[in-house]
Amino acid sequence: MHKAGFVNIVGKPNAGKSTLLNQLMGEKLAIVTQKAQTTRHRIFGIYNEEDVQIVFSDTPGVLDPKYGLQEKMMDFVKDSLQDADVFLFIVDVTDKDAPNEFLVEKLNKIPVPVLLLLNKMDASNQEALIEKVEFWHNLIPKAEILPISALEGFNTDIILPKLKTLLPENPPYYDKDQFTDKSERFFVNETIREKILLNYDKEIPYSVEVVTEIFKEKEGIIFIDSIIYVERDTQKGIIIGNKGDAIKKVGTEARIDLEKFFSKKIHLNLFVKVKKDWRKNERDLKNFGYR
């Protein structure tokens, strides 16, 4: 008997969805930063064993969209609300704001099991956790609640066995040696974007999109040319920095991560271009892969 299904990770921005995906996969598939709205796409992590295939999907955090890019990000979330066999609903226990009503309502309505993960328990205490369990039990009565730390891997080993019992009998959806639906270029783009999120402030990271134009391997070395698109000329200057110092730092940090990810030596060239107001432009968004 073979089991297979879609396990969709949903939650607010910054809840720890991507950290959890990486922890469950034992591999860094999704970028993680302390900034909200790090993830912009839906990323599949395909977990394979002989008699089971779990297709995890990481999604952008649920928010109220303010511009075109965010609308497209929410379209990915909507997809993930439609095709789940099980939901992993991840909540940051240190989050003081109100729950996302849209998500709570959806999860209550959809007849799909919900495993509610109270994340960041390492940053909380017993008393507060008990209170949260009570609170969330009232909000989503059908959910099974589990406190975890995605970062430290606490209680995350309980998740896989639980999911196996919940998944339907199905043949695999993907080749058993495939571990993601995304291309090599996607991981390059994301790695560079992660370094930009970590190295720049305010609107800069949100105004950036990365496109990899060349990815080719020659004699054991991967040669990569990537373009960093920004929305304005002033942003281009900030990305490059004084004498190119800032972009050089991004390039070095990205290269180190990519060499680890691909287990190959990497030559990385970065270019910066302006695409005015791309976040609001339907055609640009489409070209960048946001449908």
Chain positions contacting ligand GTP, by CB under 6 A: 11, 13-19, 32-34, 36-39, 60-61, 119-120, 122-123, 149-151
Residue 69 Cβ vs ligand GTP, minimum distance, rounded to whole Å = 13
Q: Compare residues 11 and 113 and give the one whose CB is closer to ligand GTP.
A: 11
80 binds Mg ion (CB under 5 A): no
Choice from 3, 6, 11, 18 touching Mg ion (CB under 5 A): 18
CA separation, residue 17 to residues 10, 38, 72, 142, 238 (Å) = 7, 10, 18, 21, 30
Q: Is 96 annotated as a binding residue?
A: no
Of 37 and 170, the one with the shorter C-beta distance to ligand GTP is 37
Query: Which entry of ligand GTP, Mg ion, none binds 151, CB below 5 to 8 A by partner kind?
Result: ligand GTP
246 Cβ partners below 8 Å, 6+ apart? 199, 200, 238, 239, 240
Check binding of 38 to Mg ion (CB under 5 A). Answer: yes
Distance CA 176, CA 223 (A): 29
Nearer to ligand GTP, 19 or 180 (CB): 19
Query: For the packed helices 184-199 and 245-262, what is the interaxial angle rounded to 10 degrees?
Result: 140
Q: Does residue 19 belong to the site contacting Mg ion (CB under 5 A)?
A: no
Find which of Mg ion, ligand GTP, none residue 189 binds, CB within 5 to 8 Å per kind: none
DSSP the chain: --EEEEEEEEESTTSSHHHHHHHHHTS--S---SSSS---S-EEEEEEETTEEEEEEE-PPP----SHHHHHHHHHHHHHHHS-SEEEEEEETT--SPP-HHHHHHHHHS-S-EEEEEE-GGGS-HHHHHHHHHHHHHHSTT-EEEE-BTTTTBSGGGHHHHHHHHSPB---SS-TT--BSS-HHHHHHHHHHHHHHHH--TTTGGG-EEEEEEEEEETTEEEEEEEEEESSHHHHHHHH-GGGHHHHHHHHHHHHHHHHHHTSEEEEEEEEEE-TTGGG-HHHHHHTT--
- Select 8 or 39, whichever has its Cβ closest to Mg ion: 39
Interface residue with Mg ion among 8, 22, 23, 39 (CB under 5 A) is: 39
Please indicate if the annotation marks 62 as binding a ligand.
yes
Cβ 176 to ligand GTP, closest distance in Å? Answer: 27
Least distance to Mg ion, CB of residue 56, Å: 12
User: Is 14 known as a binding-site position?
Assistant: yes
Residue nearest to ligand GTP (CB): 61
Contacted entry of Mg ion, ligand GTP, none for residue 5, CB cut-off 5 to 8 Å set by kind: none
Known binding residue 182? Answer is: no
Residue 37 contacts which entry, Mg ion, ligand GTP, none (Cβ below 5-8 A, type-dependent): ligand GTP
Q: Measured from the CB of residue 30, what is the shortest distance to Mg ion in angstroms?
A: 6
When the beta carbons of 52 and 146 are compared against ligand GTP, the nearer one is 146
Q: Which residues bind Mg ion (CB under 5 A)?
A: 17-18, 38-39
Q: Which residue ranges are tagged as binding site for GTP?
A: 11-18, 58-62, 119-122
